[in-house]
Chain A
Amino acid sequence: MDLYVHPEFEIVRSEKKCIACRACERQCANCAHGYDAASGSMESYDEKCVNCHRCVTLCPTKALKIVQTQHTFRPNANWSNDTIRELYLQANTGGVLLSSMGNPRPLPNYFDRILLNASQVTNPSIDPLREPMETRTYLGKKAIPLVRDANGRLTENLPPQITLTMPLMFSAMSYGSISYNAHASLARAATALGICYNTGEGGLHRDFYKYGPNTIVQVASGRFGIHGDYLMAGAAVEIKMGQGAKPGIGGHLPGKKNIGEVARTRMTPDGSDAISPAPHHDIYSIEDLRQLVYSLKEATGNTKPIIVKIAAVHNVAAIASGVARSGADIIAIDGFRGGTGAAPTRIRDNVGIPIELALASVDARLREEGIRDDISLVVGGSIRSSTDWIKAIALGADACYIATGALLALGCHLCRSCHIGLCNWGIATQRPDLVKRLNPEVGTEHLVNLVKAWQHELKEVMGGMGINSVEALRGNRLMLRGVGMTQEELDVLGIKHAGV
């Protein structure tokens, strides 16, 4: 007999308010609600609830709420409820624990301990409503020798760059891990905003080629969906070496999700498991990476910047330095709080380092080596708000990637059950009846709203600092102060403590 695992959540239904309309039953793909015809009343199956709030949101009489169960093991500071529950699950199944989205553990968040500066008296703050406040950003290699033509005029000889209206992009989420409508929303929003979204490793659906100028196409270890037109379709090509949520681990799209258009876009047999190996099997070292970078440059006729995305691991600074010397134009670093559609829980929660520290040490290292201008630096891995973004820029990032935040704007309620494939919000699912719940027009609007709101906030903060163009914020660490940090933490971040 299996060890009993008590449900984490309880569905609380107000019998007074409930009209037994069965909307909750229809909405829940997890089948947590039922209808008892005999009594004419609704029933709840707590063990199936993932706390996604779909039923709560759509209940016409607001009769529902989901609460965390108060049922508990004997309190134990060492053996928490979660730890015991997970151990039982493993004892029952012999399986690796799976999770989705970013690391939920209460590990230190350095963004929360960094404060921003503003002008007072000695220089004026700038009102973004009255004065131009510039956020345009170019990503790519800048350090090239200047060349003048016969008339002494400087020639534009920069390698290809990504042009962004602001230093923000939607980071990689594959078609397969998320739905067609989610991709459509991201692609349209990126186009409307003048930024980029990223295909992830699932290829690019033929309907989305028209958004190419605002698309980053990814080349990952499974090489799914890659062909000449795909590489030429985007604004840049990203080689995915690692992901913050699961450094050192590949990807696995189960056969039941890899069907129809998803399988076709990936150029894999319908219904087969799409497995991305942990390493690229043609990259076992840095010199191999260089070959892939230059292969992609040749394949695209040197018209696309090449991004190399790595996970933030312990020696990330040295790795980044190697990447910068590999011919890559942009390096993307993904921190350990970054999201995922599915990852082994233990890996997600224990491998990698916070993006704040990784970013600070990579930026400092590239500067020490005099090669910071050879490469642009993009970071992601839980940029939750405009101020996380602003702090990342001031620490030294050229731009940030957001994904979890973008999914929230599409309606995700962070129930962390993407790996089940039954996303009631139509995001992390391929079930047609669920996918159609996400209206791409509404999704696009929400994404555009979110990013524009952040851009407004960026401008307000920059104006307060007396900065009117975002490049003057980049790496401007004097605009940051730490609170409640050790000297070592401050040293890694390259910032001073508040009050100093």
Chain B
Amino acid sequence: MLNEGQIRIPSGCAIAGVFSRCGALMPGNDIIRSIEVMHDRSNGLGGGFAGYGIYPEYAEYYAFHFFFNDTAAQRKCENFLDRHFSIVSFGEIPTRKMPEITNEPLIYRYFLLPLPDRLRASQLTEQEYVSRCALRINCEIDGAFVFSSGKNMGIFKANGYPEDVGRFYRLEDYGAYCWTAHGRYPTNTPGWWGGAHPFGLLEYSVVHNGEISSYDANRRFLEMYGYKCSLQTDTEAITYIVDYLTRRQGLTLEETAAVMAAPFWSTIAGMPEEEKNYYTFLRKRFSSLLVTGPFSILLGFTGGLMVLGDRLKLRSMVCGDHGDFFYAASEECAIRAICPEIGGIWSPDAGQPVIVRLA
């Protein structure tokens, strides 16, 4: 069997997210319960979570989460880290031994700051430097895999059902103002830990349900700009699209959504002149980053969460507000499970982003 990256594996999924606008830190219990309700949308071959605000004591440092196949890979990777970063702190990520989760690799985290001299010499922005280092490790160091690289956030994922993965990582011990979760239903996979979701790059994390038909068109465009789609998953490509459009091209998230899930030409034709020109321009300028086929994603970023579905609404996605809290999930039951008293639950329009930010 081939791992993700050696072969493209389509998968269906469940996703869920919860966000506190005032920045209240929530332990991971709720998000685990939320995703657990949608157990049947996963098949035990991958689950994961992303939490924002979980490392307040190391908020200024890039938190790299790693899977290592063995200590040799770890040593090789640490050599690389030593040459490019100062390692402020590191250690094993705490886990709980449980029968549902087996065959775990070595799981470590490193809090890093780029070496100022190296950074200057590279003539790159700090973020570009860090993202390139993460991509290089994943491409070049066999047996080492960075699966989280943002500041004050972290991704936790494994092979298994998501609720088990959450307990395995002791998510009850973290406090986050935003959690997202993912349960995976791949159609065939050896169950490689790196292939589970969320996928992350710097502050961005993406959980995605769908199978995009534009994948290779998107991938081949992204690879022109240095992104290596080494996992061959939609989620990876979507994360890179967001990174390229926001960080490299300076688009807003709303504009990014208008590129990925562009309004139909027939819709654009009915818009007022200024809007018409604006959306036409975005579609013309970034036509290779239009995403077609079913997708619903939760994009986590520092201080916010974006919900986006495809332009035909081929995947379910519901949102709900309750006081300070915002919820989003593949199914309503996932929201009601943790907020039974919630009033209105609604479905975002096809291709329309819902963006929530810290107040």
Contacts and interface: CB of A to CB of B under 8 A. Distances in A.
Nearest to A132: B264
Contacts of B294: 123-124, 466
A156 interface: yes
Contact of A477 (B10, B220, B282, B293): B220
Interface stretch (A73-81, A319-327, A366-374): A366-374
A206 interface: no
A144 to B, nearest CB: 8
Contacts of A122: 10-12, 187, 211
Nearest to B219: A478
B285 A475 contact: no
Interface in A99-138: 119, 122-124, 126, 131-132, 134, 136, 138
Interface residues of B, number: 45
Nearest to A398: B287
A92 interface: no
Contacts of A467: 213-214, 292-293
Interface in B223-268: 223-225, 249-251, 255, 262, 264-266
Contact of A372 (B10, B224, B282): B224
Chain A interface size, as a band, is 35 or more
B312 A134 contact: no
A367 B223 contact: yes
Contacts of A466: 211, 213, 292-294
Nearest to A124: B314
A472 B224 contact: no
Interface in A151-207: 153-154, 156, 158, 161
A373 B224 contact: yes
B33 interface: no
B170 interface: no
Interface centre among A131, A146, A473 (most CB of B within 10 A): A146
Given A367-B224, A467-B214, A142 B287 contact: yes
Interface string A436-458: 00000000000000000000000
Nearest to A131: B312
A468 interface: yes
A152 to B, nearest CB: 9
A472 B264 CA distance: 13
B186 to A, nearest CB: 10
A41 interface: no
Contacts of B286: 142
Given A136-B265, A466-B213, A474-B217, A142 B292 contact: no
Given A469-B290, A478-B215, A479-B216, A158 B285 contact: yes
Contacts of A479: 216
A471 interface: yes
A385 interface: no
A465 interface: yes
A476 B312 contact: no
Contacts of B218: 472
A213 to B, nearest CB: 17
Contacts of B262: 469
A47 B224 CA distance: 58
B319 to A, nearest CB: 23
Contacts of A473: 217
B154 to A, nearest CB: 30
Contacts of B29: none
A134 B217 contact: no
B265 A134 contact: yes
Contacts, number: 109
Contacts of A156: 277-278, 280-281
Given A123-B314, A370-B225, A475-B220, A134 B213 contact: no
B254 to A, nearest CB: 11
Contact of B213 (A123, A370, A373): A123
Contacts of A158: 281, 284-285
B291 interface: yes
A134 B293 CA distance: 13
B210 interface: yes
B311 interface: yes
A373 B292 contact: no
A32 to B, nearest CB: 52
Contacts of B11: 122
B288 interface: yes
Interface string B178-213: 000000000100000000000000000000001111
B21 interface: no
B8 interface: yes
Contacts of B8: 478
Interface in B266-319: 266, 277-278, 280-282, 284-288, 290-294, 311-312, 314
A134 B311 CA distance: 12
Interface in A54-107: none
B55 interface: no
Most buried by B among A119, A122, A136, A467: A122
A477 B314 contact: no
A355 B224 CA distance: 23
Nearest to A117: B213
B216 A478 contact: yes
Nearest to A138: B284
Interface in A451-500: 465-469, 471-479
A475 B281 contact: no
A158 B220 CA distance: 22
A144 B285 CA distance: 8
| Residue of B187, B266, B288 contacting most chain A CB atoms (<10 Å) | B288
B90 to A, nearest CB: 36
B221 interface: yes
Q: Which 7 A-B pairs have the closest CB atoms?
A: A472-B214, A478-B216, A466-B213, A123-B211, A471-B287, A472-B292, A476-B217
Interface of B: 8, 10-12, 187, 210-218, 220-221, 223-225, 249-251, 255, 262, 264-266, 277-278, 280-282, 284-288, 290-294, 311-312, 314
Given A134-B265, A142-B285, A476-B216, 18 more contacts: A123-B211, A123-B294, A124-B294, A126-B312, A132-B266, A138-B287, A142-B287, A146-B249, A367-B224, A466-B292, A467-B292, A467-B293, A469-B290, A472-B213, A472-B290, A475-B217, A476-B215, A477-B220
9 contacts: A122-B211, A123-B212, A124-B314, A146-B251, A367-B223, A471-B290, A472-B218, A477-B220, A478-B216
